[in-house]
A and B are shown apart, each in its own frame.
Chain A
Amino acid sequence: MEYEAVIGLETHVQLNTKSKMWCGCANAYGAAPNTQVCPVCLGLPGVLPVPNEEALRKTTLTGYLLNCEIPRFAKFDRKNYFYPDAPKNYQLTQYDKPTTANGFVEFEFQGGLARVRITRAHLEEDVGKSFHFDRNSGVDFNRAGVPLMEIVSEPDITSADMAYEYLNALKDILLYGGVSDCDMEKGMVRCDVNVSVRPVGTQELGAKIEIKNMNSFSGVRRALEYEIPRQIAVVKAGGKLIQSTRRWDDTTGITEEMRTKEHAHDYRYFPEPDMMPLAPTDEWLAEVRKLVVELPLARKQRFIREYSLPAPDAETFKNDVALGNYFEPLAKQSSNPKAVANWVINNLRAKLTELNEREKTEQSELGIEPADLQLTTLADLKFPPAALLELVGLVEAKTISNAAAQQVFAEMFATGKTPAAIVQEKGLAQVSDTGAIEKLCDEAIAASPGPVADYRAGKAAALNALKGYVMKLSKGKANPALAGEILERKLKG
């Protein structure tokens, strides 16, 4: 019998609000332990939570981006459990009335489009972080009370690869919406997996097994690549799987049982009495709607459609939003968007990356911290975007050769001079004057008896050597096509 996996994901995402969920403390990563805390986020006696409007807005915006419904009634609940990193020993979350529900995410998968339904995206609070030392433990509460959005998918995912692509698509959407910085290394995105297996063709779900402790998307994929065959092997061997929670060990690459259903927590959820229920108004929702942006997939499809770009170029512009934003206005003004895309991706991006690497090295040597590095961005370029368009135009009009264009670009990148000025200054204009080229061709033929003999003996490729000689003599300015024609005529004649 063949088995298939049924996978649902619970993804926790820290929102990039300025302040924490219930208090005015900064929501910022990396400060010294317990320096971004106050009575509220430490859960001191007598404090009360006041919801962060920006967090509510960002959660609702996420709802719109994930095609969710936005219910007109939502509330927070207390989830009760004792843990040293939980300041109140209950977590505020949205249990049965979330801010958003019933959406979906679409993404490219295995050459087609996949759709994963979203059960809900709800808001809750992050907890502190425990540290264990030799003889004692400590908790850093800087993270406690940071707004955390939980995005729960329906069990629509069927493979480890699909889970991986879903997570990447989700991350892109959140980045596009500006709701989270999604920095995995800083723990801004965390993911739990629910996975079961069943015989292909059946509908009934198998025992749901939750896997925790993956700290990267590839960790999720690896955990599933381990767990799915494990479950299938158990079932095939006649064993029975029971609902349980397992822990992924990234070093050994295996999952281990943490607890079974009998030991599941009773969280004793009940509505948070310290806050009024949420009832978003039409006006408020309309304001949030204004923040809706084009989704990554839609952008990619539009770039392919509107600028006749090959998929890899459109993918580049989907992933590098700033680069895409640089490209798009130029593409709109150009008769050859593909040529513009080539310049932006192959030359501009390469140069910028090279410059950034150099800046990093120089500044690191000066002892500047990684967070304080001052790197050149697209906004700081020395030349205006229109200059790139001008350069493409010069190539298109055959005013300069491709080789010369490379030189022009390097110069305008370095100095900000206009392409026309550089061409003029360096004398890079392509020579299409037949008389001048004929002279050069005669010189080349005279100086290259070997290739001439080869060509005449039937080796057509020998023409390239002669063409190269002409280009060299012209310092790259000769129109190569024209030079080829003239050489051919002279040698045949």
Chain B
Amino acid sequence: MLNQLTISELTSRLARRDISARELTQACLDQIARVDGTVHAFISHDPADALAQADAADHELAAGVTFAQKPLLGIPIAIKDVLAVKGHPLNCGSKILGKFISPYDATVIEKMKAAGAVVFGRLNMDEFAMGSSTETSAFGITRNPWDPSRIPGGSSGGSAAAVAADEAIATLGTDTGGSIRQPAALCGCVGLKPTYGRVSRYGLTAFASSLDQIGPFTKNIEDAARLLGVISGHDPKDSTSVAEPVPDYVAALDGQIRGLKLGLPKEYLIGGLDPEVKAAVDAAVKQYAALGAEIVDISLPHTDYAVATYYIVATAEASANLARFDGIRYGQRVDGADPIELYTRTRGAGFGAEVKRRIILGTYVLSSGYYDAYYLRAQKVRTLIRNDFLNAFKQVDAIITPTAPTAAFKIGEKSGDPLQMYLSDIFTISCNLAGISGISLPCGFTRSPKLPIGLQLLGQPFGEATLLKLAHAYEQSTPWHREKPAPIA
């Protein structure tokens, strides 16, 4: 089935005109019709619009446009509901935006359109990307394609599930503390969080501005490399994006990893780590050694402070970022006798419990008298955490860890216990605080039920090429990425 193929496979077939973009898009739409009643990766999608884009791509292919000119021509790529696509709904998994339609394209969307992609669908997510299970969405839960009684991870749960269930060839998600890597791990696909500043955030509805990055979900590493190449680069509309040249990430996938050093941080071997996850990661480390990489024990001494630091920095920024959802200019409004009552009612009705919790927490840590003790101190600890990584990268080319401490958990299992939920991001959070790059790729399965396990590689700032090279070498020597979820097959 066309929808199961990778970008690399599809582009060669499209180039040969064996298949059309319309057939390919239709295959994805058919799969959505078939499985999304169960998976519910999509909040909404517009088949007619997707097919119209596919037809336009077919015209361009007929007119001789090449994949060198438009590397994603005719490839259906679905979008997390936090990214602005002109003319499409933008809800961020929340009720508060009501019937909001974005009047503009995010920079990544402009770039994907320029590359010829069929940009379609709104993928489910935790409300405003706050969560690790996609259970906080106002649009219902998304189910893990490997076991529909389990969560897909989050916050980009829809993005991960859609790729795992072959409802799209690739998807875009966002990662503030693990929201790409953790669901990728739990759904058995590849998820890449680029270095802070690598990809423009313009058009990404901010959760935590200093931590958010947009990245791809794909079926394999080569596709991640292709997609990253399209969306990366400095954007004059985002002054935190960096004018660092964009290398040819696909060209970096040469299998030459002999002599590269992989750091194994002792702080990541924690008590809560599931034995099967540990065994899979240990095996992956051995596999890397067998492939010629050198394994080095390292220390990231401030790891213990990462979760606390993250929940201060991220909530502080979120408390301001989400202030604009007030019912005055757009979105849902619940009227009041005066502005304060209007705000209170609108936000009271529009935001879910987790979002409210984080706004209150963030408001508190910024309050006069508490700022120094919380926010300022957290920023200092953040610098220490970043320095831990920069020091480690003096010794090693990348760091190897589990992506998540466990495989996918049951729906409802942690939703009543925020702290347990926060700890599911324990291995991914530091990467955002440090502003470095990270990737999750499949490294095995639990026995029963059969659930994917993710391996995380953390790389230097702007070290994505090395990260992809390492991930690719492992992937090509293991079978995991070729497995498909049985329950929805």
Q: How far is the CB of B82 from chain A (nearest CB, A)?
A: 8
Query: Given the complex, which residues of B lie within 8 Å of A80, measured CB to CB?
Result: 319-320, 323, 366
Q: How far is the CB of A402 from chain B (nearest CB, A)?
A: 64
Inter-chain CA distance A236–B208, complex, in Å, is 53
Q: How far is the CB of B107 from chain A (nearest CB, A)?
A: 9
In the assembled complex, A169 has its CB within 8 A of some CB on chain B? no
Q: How far is the CB of B16 from chain A (nearest CB, A)?
A: 38
Whether the Cβ atoms of B324 and A273 lie closer than 8 Å is no
Chain B residues numbered 281-331 whose CB sits less than 8 Å from any CB in chain A: 316-317, 319-320, 323-326, 328-330
Identify the closest chain A residue to B97 (Cβ).
A45
Inter-chain CA distance A78–B209, complex, in Å, is 12
Query: Given the complex, which residues of B lie within 8 Å of A90, measured CB to CB?
Result: 320, 323
Whether the Cβ atoms of A268 and B363 lie closer than 8 Å is yes
Identify the closest chain B residue to A43 (Cβ).
B324
In the assembled complex, A365 has its CB within 8 A of some CB on chain B? no
Q: How far is the CB of B109 from chain A (nearest CB, A)?
A: 10
Q: How far is the CB of B467 from chain A (nearest CB, A)?
A: 25
In the assembled complex, A215 has its CB within 8 A of some CB on chain B? no
A–B Cβ pairs within 8 angstroms, 5 of them: A43-B324, A82-B343, A90-B323, A268-B367, A273-B209
Inter-chain CA distance A276–B210, complex, in Å, is 10
Whether the Cβ atoms of A50 and B368 lie closer than 8 Å is no
Whether the Cβ atoms of A45 and B202 lie closer than 8 Å is no
In the assembled complex, B255 has its CB within 8 A of some CB on chain A? no
Decide: A266 near B205, CB < 8 A? Known: A45-B92, A88-B324, A90-B320: no
In the assembled complex, B103 has its CB within 8 A of some CB on chain A? yes
**B90, B206, B375: the one within 8 Å of A270 (CB):** B375
Give a binary string over B63-94; 1 marks a CB under 8 Å from any A CB, 0 the rest: 00000000000000000001110000010100
In the assembled complex, A471 has its CB within 8 A of some CB on chain B? no
Q: How far is the CB of B407 from chain A (nearest CB, A)?
A: 33
Inter-chain CA distance A276–B97, complex, in Å, is 29
Whether the Cβ atoms of A42 and B329 lie closer than 8 Å is yes
List 20 additional A-B contacts (Cβ < 8 Å) besides A39-B104, A50-B236, A87-B329: A44-B84, A46-B90, A46-B202, A47-B203, A48-B237, A48-B240, A49-B239, A50-B237, A78-B320, A80-B320, A80-B366, A82-B326, A82-B340, A88-B324, A89-B320, A90-B323, A266-B367, A268-B320, A270-B317, A275-B240
- 3 tightest CB-CB pairs across the interface, nearest first? A89-B323, A268-B366, A273-B210
Give a binary string over B184-226; 1 marks a CB under 8 Å from any A CB, 0 the rest: 0000000000000000011111101110000000000000000
In the assembled complex, B46 has its CB within 8 A of some CB on chain A? no
Whether the Cβ atoms of B366 and A270 lie closer than 8 Å is yes
Inter-chain CA distance A246–B104, complex, in Å, is 43
Query: Given the complex, which residues of A lie within 8 Å of B236, measured CB to CB?
Result: 50
Q: How far is the CB of A146 from chain B (nearest CB, A)?
A: 17
In the assembled complex, A73 has its CB within 8 A of some CB on chain B? no
**B239, B317, B340: the one within 8 Å of A50 (CB):** B239
Q: How large is the interface on A (under 10, 10 to 19, 20 to 34, 35 or more residues)?
A: 20 to 34
Identify the closest chain B residue to A90 (Cβ).
B320
Q: How far is the CB of B246 from chain A (nearest CB, A)?
A: 20
Chain B residues numbered 331-389 whose CB sits less than 8 Å from any CB in chain A: 339-340, 343, 363, 366-368, 371, 375
Decide: A273 near B317, CB < 8 A? Known: A46-B205, A88-B323: yes
Whether the Cβ atoms of B316 and A270 lie closer than 8 Å is yes
Whether the Cβ atoms of B323 and A46 lie closer than 8 Å is no
Query: Given the complex, which residues of A lie within 8 Å of B317, measured CB to CB?
Result: 270, 273
Identify the closest chain B residue to A89 (Cβ).
B323
Query: Given the complex, which residues of A lie within 8 Å of B237, measured CB to CB?
Result: 48, 50
In the assembled complex, B172 has its CB within 8 A of some CB on chain A? no
Query: Given the complex, which residues of A lie within 8 Å of B202, measured CB to CB?
Result: 46-48
Whether the Cβ atoms of A39 and B320 lie closer than 8 Å is no
Whether the Cβ atoms of A46 and B240 lie closer than 8 Å is no
Q: How far is the CB of A7 from chain B (nearest CB, A)?
A: 26
Query: Given the complex, which residues of A lie within 8 Å of B210, measured CB to CB?
Result: 273
Q: How far is the CB of A170 from chain B (nearest CB, A)?
A: 31
Chain B residues numbered 3-36 whose CB sits less than 8 Å from any CB in chain A: none
Query: Given the complex, which residues of B lie within 8 Å of A82, measured CB to CB?
Result: 323, 326, 339-340, 343
Decide: A276 near B206, CB < 8 A? Known: A82-B343, A266-B367, A270-B316: no
Query: Given the complex, which residues of B lie within 8 Å of A44, measured CB to CB?
Result: 84, 102-104, 330
Q: Which of A43, A139, A276 has its CB near the most chain B CB atoms (within 10 A)?
A: A43
Query: Given the complex, which residues of B lie within 8 Å of A48, measured CB to CB?
Result: 201-202, 237-240
Q: How far is the CB of B173 from chain A (nearest CB, A)?
A: 15
In the assembled complex, B51 has its CB within 8 A of some CB on chain A? no
Whether the Cβ atoms of B324 and A51 lie closer than 8 Å is no
Q: How far is the CB of B131 from chain A (nearest CB, A)?
A: 18
Interface size on B, residues (CB 8 A): 45
Identify the closest chain A residue to B84 (Cβ).
A46
Inter-chain CA distance A269–B103, complex, in Å, is 30
**A43, A89, A269, A274: the one within 8 Å of B239 (CB):** A274
Whether the Cβ atoms of B83 and A46 lie closer than 8 Å is yes
Identify the closest chain A residue to B236 (Cβ).
A50
Q: Which of A46, A49, A141, A276 has its CB near the most chain B CB atoms (within 10 A)?
A: A46
Identify the closest chain B residue to A78 (Cβ).
B320
Identify the closest chain B residue to A85 (Cβ).
B328
Identify the closest chain B residue to A130 (Cβ).
B339
Chain A residues numbered 244-273 whose CB sits less than 8 Å from any CB in chain B: 266, 268-270, 273
Inter-chain CA distance A395–B141, complex, in Å, is 95
Query: Given the complex, which residues of B lie within 8 Å of A276, measured CB to CB?
Result: 239-240
**A42, A49, A89, A269: the one within 8 Å of B326 (CB):** A89
In the assembled complex, B106 has its CB within 8 A of some CB on chain A? yes
Inter-chain CA distance A178–B370, complex, in Å, is 42
Q: How far is the CB of B367 from chain A (nearest CB, A)?
A: 6
Inter-chain CA distance A135–B237, complex, in Å, is 39
In the assembled complex, A310 has its CB within 8 A of some CB on chain B? no
Q: How far is the CB of B93 from chain A (nearest CB, A)?
A: 12
Inter-chain CA distance A460–B477, complex, in Å, is 125
Inter-chain CA distance A44–B205, complex, in Å, is 9
Inter-chain CA distance A90–B237, complex, in Å, is 20
**A42, A83, A88, A268: the one within 8 Å of B339 (CB):** A83
Query: Given the complex, which residues of A lie within 8 Å of B316, measured CB to CB?
Result: 270
Query: Given the complex, which residues of B lie within 8 Å of A141, measured CB to CB?
Result: 329
Decide: A51 near B329, CB < 8 A? Known: A43-B324, A82-B323, A89-B323: no
Decide: A274 near B209, CB < 8 A? Known: A46-B83, A46-B84: yes
In the assembled complex, A33 has its CB within 8 A of some CB on chain B? no
In the assembled complex, A427 has its CB within 8 A of some CB on chain B? no
Q: Which of A39, A42, A273 has its CB near the most chain B CB atoms (within 10 A)?
A: A273
Whether the Cβ atoms of B328 and A84 lie closer than 8 Å is yes
Give a binary string over A58-95; 1 marks a CB under 8 Å from any B CB, 0 the rest: 00000000000000000000101011100111100000
Inter-chain CA distance A45–B174, complex, in Å, is 15
Give a binary string over A204-248; 1 marks a CB under 8 Å from any B CB, 0 the rest: 000000000000000000000000000000000000000000000
Q: How far is the CB of B86 from chain A (nearest CB, A)?
A: 10
Chain B residues numbered 393-415 whose CB sits less than 8 Å from any CB in chain A: none
Query: Given the complex, which residues of A lie within 8 Å of B340, measured CB to CB?
Result: 82
Inter-chain CA distance A268–B361, complex, in Å, is 13
Q: How far is the CB of A135 from chain B (nearest CB, A)?
A: 12
Chain B residues numbered 234-283 whose CB sits less than 8 Å from any CB in chain A: 236-240
